[in-house]
Amino acid sequence: MLDQPVSKSKCQLPLTVTGLAFSAGGARLIDGLDLVLTDHDTTVVMGPNGAGKSLLVRLLHGLIEPQSGSIAWNGEPCGPATRQRQAMVFQKPVLLRRSVAANVDFVLKLKGGSNRERLNRLLAQANLLDKAAQPARALSGGEQQRLALARALASDPEVLFLDEPTASLDPTSTQLIETVIAEASARGVKVILVTHDAGQARRLANEMVFIHNGAVVEHSSADTFFKQPASKAARDYLAGKLVI
């Protein structure tokens, strides 16, 4: 049994990004980026290494302050109240030195919704119910990532950011994580997923955002992007060529 659908009436969309810029070490990493996301679906962010994908989602989530430009969630600037209605899963999971169950229950208690039924449901969804009493940091890499995802969903987010959540994982773990992501999206959670895996993007994406040199060069439906990419950078990327 899955969690109840997220109420779209309270969702933070649309997301409106205008003139976003960020530099570090003398390099312009995000360069006047504009983006508008309106639909309750899965948006996949792709681009070559160093394009600014991971930095972008950290900026959108409010973990890093932009140096110029603006980010607005349903007309509101990104702040603590906004972040409390979002969750993020990183490429390398950061887990508490507690049991598997205690990691998820910690978030449920913070949200005032701790109960055994919901805890077990989240663990079962991540295929971790049989490991509930084990130390979280003793899990395999794929299991740790599934736990991080279950913990993120325990906060009942309206927006879920995922930064390369299956990088270096085996196919079985990848499939399990993709299933949880798809189920969350079907419940109305807005998913924003960074991945370098074109196959994963084809499986999960409703729309694609392709970034090159810190700017959005394509934003279209997944079907359009994979059938008729409009930019040379995207065509080369999908063909497996180096994109500089």
pLDDT in tens, 41-74: 999 999 999 999 999 999 999 999 999 999 999 9
The Cα 13–Cα 73 span in angstroms is: 6
The Cα 180–Cα 183 span in angstroms is: 5
Provide the pLDDT confidence category of residue 3 given band limits of 50, 70 and 90.
low
pLDDT for position 115: 87
Number of CB atoms found within 10 A of residue 49's CB: 8
pLDDT for position 63: 95
Provide the pLDDT confidence category of residue 78 given band limits of 50, 70 and 90.
confident
Instruction: Indicate the pTM of the whole model.
Output: 0.94
DSSP per-residue letters across 162-228: EESTTTT--HHHHHHHHHHHHHHHHTT-EEEEE-S-HHHHHHH-SEEEEEETTEEEEEEEHHHHHHS
Model confidence over 6-25: pLDDT tens digits? 544 457 899 999 999 999 99
Model confidence over 202-220: pLDDT tens digits? 999 999 999 999 999 999 9
User: Residue 118: is it exposed, middle or buried by C-beta count within 10 angstroms (0-12/13-18/19+)?
Assistant: middle
Cβ contacts of 228 within 8 Å, gap of 6 or more: none
| Furthest CA-CA distance within the chain | 52
Provide the pLDDT confidence category of residue 4 given band limits of 50, 70 and 90.
low
Closest among 184, 126, 170, 176 to 151, alpha carbons compared: 126
DSSP secondary structure code for residue 63 in this structure: S
